[in-house]
Structure 1
Amino acid sequence: MSTDTPAHTAAAPGVVACVAYDRSGQRLGDIALAAISDTLRAPERFVWVGLYEPDDALLAQMQEEFTLHPLAVEDARNAHQRPKIELYGESLFVVARTAAREGSRVSFGETHVFLGANYILTVRHGSAPGYAPVRRVAEQNPVLLAQGPGYALYAVLDAIVDGFMPILETYQAELEDLESAIFAAQWKRSTLRRLYGMQRELTRLRLAVAPLQDVLAQLERLHPAFIPETVRPYFRDVNDHANRINDAVNAMREMLGAAMNVSVSLVTLNQNEVVKRLASWAALLAVPTLLTGWFGMNFRHMPELDQPWAYPALIVFTLMLCGGLYWWLKRARWL
């Protein structure tokens, strides 16, 4: 390692963990970042490093310690990558989108993973959950961790995929509550706004899950230099979870689309009912207006006006017309 590279330690900003393990899966302890390359040269050792939004200097040091490809390092620096898997010489570069529920909204992040024969380096951006619990669980099963960095990669991706499920369960419960609001007597604009917000977040969730399936399928079949045969069934299991989550996301998006259509249709029906009632009352008012306007004309020769029964007859006739029209409108369910 060159002497002009800053010597970050495991407690430096951006460094979450830097741990060495032996090939039996036993934790050897934390190591300084400057000692990574020396540890990698030691036989029967592998290193697990976790970073969170590292700066350029820290990424440059990781590139030198692990001999990482500059294109992969550039992607890890910029983030905003799609889920993918790429082979760069003696290392795999894996990108996964993460999601976490924060209050009433979902925040998305990214995790970039560099995988070698004797190391795994994770770089988190955004709201990606930490992987300290993942490491603790893996360390409690040294027999599985003894399978090397390939198993550590499985543990990370399994945690990412499992993190999608609570979000879906929350959406399902929220959709059930919104269904009752959709059919409520009083329509609320906030209901349609929330349906649209859920549809948008589920679309983003689908963009995180769907491409990850291809990544998991490759890890399940390819890259034998990094993924031992004994670890492949674990990736098959994670891929199955991702498939089920993707199917659930698609089904829920269809349900949300149907709920939005129903909500808009109900609003249109309510508006039609209001228009029908207004038109019915307008018709009822038009009858006396027409008759009074007719007999209110200033003509001298209107013989019916000279009859003593003309006024009460007009009142009765008007009431009969209005009553008949009201009965007809009521029967037609316009009133």
Structure 2
Amino acid sequence: MNVVSPASASTEPVTSDGVIAAGAYVDGRRVANIAIDEAGSWRSKPDHVVWIGLHEPETQLLKRVQQQFELHDLAIEDADHAHQRPKIEQYGDALFIVARTAQLDGDSIAFGETHLFVGEGYIVSVRHGASTSYKPVRERCESCPRALARGEDYILYAILDFIVDNYSPVLETIQVEVEAMEAEVLASAMTRAQIERLYLLRRDLLRLRNAVGPLVEVCRRLEHDNLPMVRPTMRPLFRDVTDHVRTVQERIDSLREVLAFAFEASLLVGQAQETAISKKLASWLAIVAVPTMIAGIYGMNFKHMPELEWEYGYFAVIGAIVTVCAVLFWRFRRVGWL
């Protein structure tokens, strides 16, 4: 799997109306850069495949694409309004697929969407929100015409595989932070800032899992269902993507469990520290109570207290106080309270 991190991903020029690239391919080789309004005619030529990439297109551009490929109104409506759940839908002989993308934006995860229209002789990708450019996918496919010559379903596989691969840099960055946080927890109780960060990490991981999870069903259908535009020879590749998605799920679950254990360990460390402090306070309180009690007794202003007339009474009381306090200190130290 070829992972391209968001930081190093190459970018593609985007026209004012949202077109990133539009090309016609024959036998895996680009034969022309085409205009959107010519896409339908190129697609109708024998053995031609039209590959169009759009980034946050305007409604009018989507309508033009719809006219060229006779796309379903509901699919166009979904592509025009983002915030869709990952899914796969069949409209006649065409497929409409939604996948969620993820990138690190500072200390949090930013999510985006990719909508894919796949039909006879064409594939259209529509990107919304945070997403790495698909230029590396196009370049990799064009560098291997034999693979690209397989057709639209191979391009679909390449894009889905790229989306899943780019979950890895996000998880690797989070894993480094989680491991550092886990080491700090064992050293001392977590601060408020650390607890807040732990909560944000668990929230982002949950959102990422919700974005990744439905892709398993999407890839499963591409692998097992007799869907149009997916040839039997492509099913092992989609099975590979399914395995990658499940691996990502397992990593997310593992990180969330580590964060949960880290929080529980922090609570235990904090409780242990509080218990140790309480023991120390109780020990010193018991030691201080001895001279306090004796001083309180002899501080009572009774007229008849025989010890007050004893010549060595003061020294005896001081000696008793020191002895009892020393015994208590030794005892508390021995049991580990001091």
Q: Normalising to structure 1: TM-score of the pair?
A: 0.92
Partner of 2:22: 18
Whole-angstrom CA distance in 1 between matches of 2:198 and 2:237: 36
- Which one of 268, 278, 281 corresponds to residue 265 of structure 1? 268
Instruction: Give 1:42 shift.
Output: 2.1
Residue-by-residue CA offset, 1:48-78 (whole Å, 9 max, x unaligned): 1111111222222222222221211121122
Whole-angstrom CA distance in 2 between matches of 1:30 and 1:302: 113
Q: Determine if contact 1:14/1:51 at 8 Å carries over to the other structure.
A: yes
Counterpart of 2:121 in structure 1: which amino acid? N
Q: Determine if contact 2:24/2:51 at 8 Å carries over to the other structure.
A: yes
SS of match in other structure, 1:231? helix
Describe how 1:219-298 pairs up with structure 2 within 5 A. 219-298=222-301
Whole-angstrom CA distance in 2 between matches of 1:96 and 1:105: 20
Instruction: Give 1:141 shift.
Output: 1.1
1:310 aligns with 2:328: no
SS of match in other structure, 1:147? coil
SS of match in other structure, 2:112? strand
- Which one of 146, 149, 153 corresponds to residue 146 of structure 1? 149
SS of match in other structure, 2:233? coil
Whole-angstrom CA distance in 2 between matches of 1:189 and 1:131: 40
Instruction: Give 1:252 shift.
Output: 1.9
Unaligned runs of 5+ in 1: 1-9
Counterpart of 2:30 in structure 1: which amino acid? R
Whole-angstrom CA distance in 1 between matches of 2:227 and 2:210: 28
- Residues 96-105 or 252-261, more deviating: 96-105
Partner of 1:205: 208
Instruction: Give 1:195 shift.
Output: 2.5
Partner of 2:337: 334
Q: Determine if contact 1:181/1:191 at 8 Å carries over to the other structure.
A: no
Residue-by-residue CA offset, 1:174-199 (whole Å, 9 max, x unaligned): 22222221122575333333332222
Whole-angstrom CA distance in 2 between matches of 1:288 and 1:60: 91
- Residues 104-113 or 166-175, more deviating: 166-175
Q: Determine if contact 1:93/1:113 at 8 Å carries over to the other structure.
A: yes
Whole-angstrom CA distance in 2 between matches of 1:317 and 1:187: 45
SS of match in other structure, 2:187? coil
| Greater RCO, 1 or 2 (C-alpha within 8 Å, sep 6+) | 2
Q: Determine if contact 2:283/2:337 at 8 Å carries over to the other structure.
A: yes
Residue-by-residue CA offset, 1:77-133 (whole Å, 9 max, x unaligned): 221111111112232111111111234332211111111121111111111111111
Partner of 2:138: 135
Whole-angstrom CA distance in 2 between matches of 1:147 and 1:49: 17
Identity between Structure 1 and Structure 2 (%)? 44
Partner of 1:4: none
SS of match in other structure, 1:183? helix
- Residues 254-263 or 222-231, more deviating: 222-231
- Which one of 106, 110, 115 corresponds to residue 112 of structure 1? 115
Whole-angstrom CA distance in 2 between matches of 1:51 and 1:309: 101
Whole-angstrom CA distance in 2 between matches of 1:104 and 1:316: 64
Unaligned runs of 5+ in 2: 1-13
Whole-angstrom CA distance in 1 between matches of 2:215 and 2:190: 39
Whole-angstrom CA distance in 2 between matches of 1:81 and 1:284: 68
SS of match in other structure, 1:176? helix
Q: Count the aligned residue pairs.
A: 325
Whole-angstrom CA distance in 1 between matches of 2:190 and 2:281: 19
SS of match in other structure, 1:111? strand
Instruction: Give 1:259 shift.
Output: 1.4
Partner of 1:5: none
Q: Determine if contact 1:192/1:263 at 8 Å carries over to the other structure.
A: no
Q: Name the Cα RMSD after superposition.
A: 1.7
- Which one of 78, 82, 99 corresponds to residue 79 of structure 1? 82
Structure 1 residues 187 and 220 mapped into 2: Cα distance closer, same or farther (>3 Å)?
Answer: closer
Q: Determine if contact 1:182/1:263 at 8 Å carries over to the other structure.
A: yes
Whole-angstrom CA distance in 2 between matches of 1:178 and 1:27: 49
Partner of 2:94: 91
Counterpart of 2:24 in structure 1: which amino acid? A
- Residues 190-199 or 266-275, more deviating: 190-199
Whole-angstrom CA distance in 1 between matches of 2:30 and 2:40: 18
